[in-house]
Structure 1
């Protein structure tokens, strides 16, 4: 999985949205706006989880805590609708800002249009891109990959005026949290990214449940777990990710007692648990293990300073 939102993902979002727009007329938000809200939500939760895991995270970047959007990422057929709903012009735009992140502290706002980055205009950036349609993803990567501690100067257009916004940055955990559409109740990861399906986001009753799921996948990133392990090794890795992910979520201020509710409800939907979860174990057992280990952990276990964690949740 790419470190950036791919053009395919954008097309899937657009195509899925057009096909389901009529069926979802009862929804309060049009599908493009709802997708942006969900991306902002998981980005905010992910930012807090990364803060809690910062001391044990080796994948270092300097993200500013903002998501970007660009009209070129959508199909030509969809662009009039996208422009109307999201107010997207020709320039890339800030789609969301993480509360408490560098962009938020600098005063950047959703709907700010990107004019230039460190004096380089957005059209020049697009001209130099391998795929100009992925300009928003390139900006996301550029703002995160520049040397840490270096001030970033973003020139944005706001209410018709160009505004220079200096953004202070620092090295921090650099996993990327991605929203996937057109999939079932899924969450997964590679060695650098965490992905969660829109269906699972909607299935979650609260941010505590999402934090438990995202924390589990972030733990896989921290441990650099691979999917090509044998079943016994995968079972051990999944059990470890359950406990470490829950510990990260707890240290980030989320309520794990509420968070495990999503596992309980998923377990009730699983008609063949032994067949469907050969590597994860039953949801009932996972909830019991998390409750026994993480909920009894003393407050002094935060923030995480080591990834070493035993099956009972204790640390050496």
Structure 2
């Protein structure tokens, strides 16, 4: 639905081994994230809650692990959305709830202790101008589309890459000017896709998770396990890395080397667990989460092409947890 400081991009399904893109598997016990029978306001609030959780976890993962990433970017730590991305049913609700206006980026969430938070930005703020240049409103006459928001996000990203930036921000009936000093993070954004499928994927640029999968991972440490696995695919460059904004920098000496294509799922599990540990999440929950999910979803319970069974993956994560514990006890850096 929205993204963290980056424009959405399509991709092949990579894998937590959940479900193929063409599959649709209801959540256990009927606990889907969204329901067509819900009133528009309730559906919007359900999406907003998931977006905020994913954005907060993603910000922690990408800022805590920057030294391991070959590709980095300047970020604000906000989650953006726009009125024109919403369906006809949800658009008026979103406009009233968040003060949205066309394609102009509205702030849906601000990560704790992020540049956006330090600049005094908050959910409900609307970004009008960046460095004195208007952000495009669009006319909103066509079907729902992310394109206008994506174009504005690119402009913001380019400005942040030169940071600090000056922003004209509307809150209610008041417009004010703030200065934001971006920080660096791994060059991956996070996006929730409304869907009743169990799905998570990465494409070298972003991490995508279905609303049903995000809702199933009700604990943030479990959600971090999913997002960390997908982020590890990007960190290990299992897909082409994102195009740099401006001249490409040399790959930092601390970055992890490019991963092996043939062992990418196993490596993403292991490296993803290290990403969680470095960001302060509870890695001990990960094996149990995989076992629970395997019990609820046969596609994960048994080995599939490219993926071990949930039980085999859980045992490998237990071994990785033992590695992490030993390194902590020895005072060694948590480097996979």
Normalised to the residue count of structure 1, the TM-score between the two structures is 0.79
1:200 alignment partner in structure 2: 213
| TM-aligned CA distance change 1:62 to 1:303, over 3 Å | farther
Measure, in 1, the Cα distance between the counterparts of 2:93 and 2:145.
Answer: 20
| TM-aligned CA distance change 1:287 to 1:32, over 3 Å | same
- Corresponding position: 1:292 with 2:319: yes
Measure, in 2, the Cα distance between the counterparts of 1:20 and 1:148.
Answer: 39
Measure, in 1, the Cα distance between the counterparts of 2:271 and 2:68.
Answer: 11
> Could you tell me how far 1:84 is from its partner in structure 2?
3.6
1:278 alignment partner in structure 2: 305
Measure, in 1, the Cα distance between the counterparts of 2:89 and 2:219.
Answer: 35
Contact 2:291–2:311 (CA<8 Å) still a contact in 1?
yes
Q: Which 5+ residue runs of structure 2 have no aligned equivalent?
A: 11-31, 241-259
> Could you tell me how far 1:6 is from its partner in structure 2?
6.5
- Corresponding position: 1:70 with 2:82: yes
Match of 2:8 among 5, 11, 19: 5
Contact 1:30–1:85 (CA<8 Å) still a contact in 2?
no
1:252 alignment partner in structure 2: 279
In angstroms, what is the RMSD of aligned CA positions? 3.0
Deviations 1:236-291 (A, max 9, x none): 11111111000110110000112333211121134366865231201111111111
Match of 1:112 among 105, 125, 146: 125
Measure, in 2, the Cα distance between the counterparts of 1:303 and 1:62.
Answer: 24
- Corresponding position: 1:177 with 2:204: no
Contact 2:105–2:153 (CA<8 Å) still a contact in 1?
no
> Could you tell me how far 1:113 is from its partner in structure 2?
1.5
- Corresponding position: 1:222 with 2:235: yes
Deviations 1:119-143 (A, max 9, x none): 11234x759xxx9863332333332
Aligned length: 282
Pick the structure with more helix per residue: 1
> Could you tell me how far 1:198 is from its partner in structure 2?
0.7
Contact 2:265–2:306 (CA<8 Å) still a contact in 1?
yes
Match of 2:58 among 46, 49, 52: 46
Match of 2:35 among 20, 28, 38: 20
Contact 2:86–2:145 (CA<8 Å) still a contact in 1?
no
Deviations 1:127-170 (A, max 9, x none): 9xxx9863332333332333646211111112422111100023
> Could you tell me how far 1:199 is from its partner in structure 2?
0.7
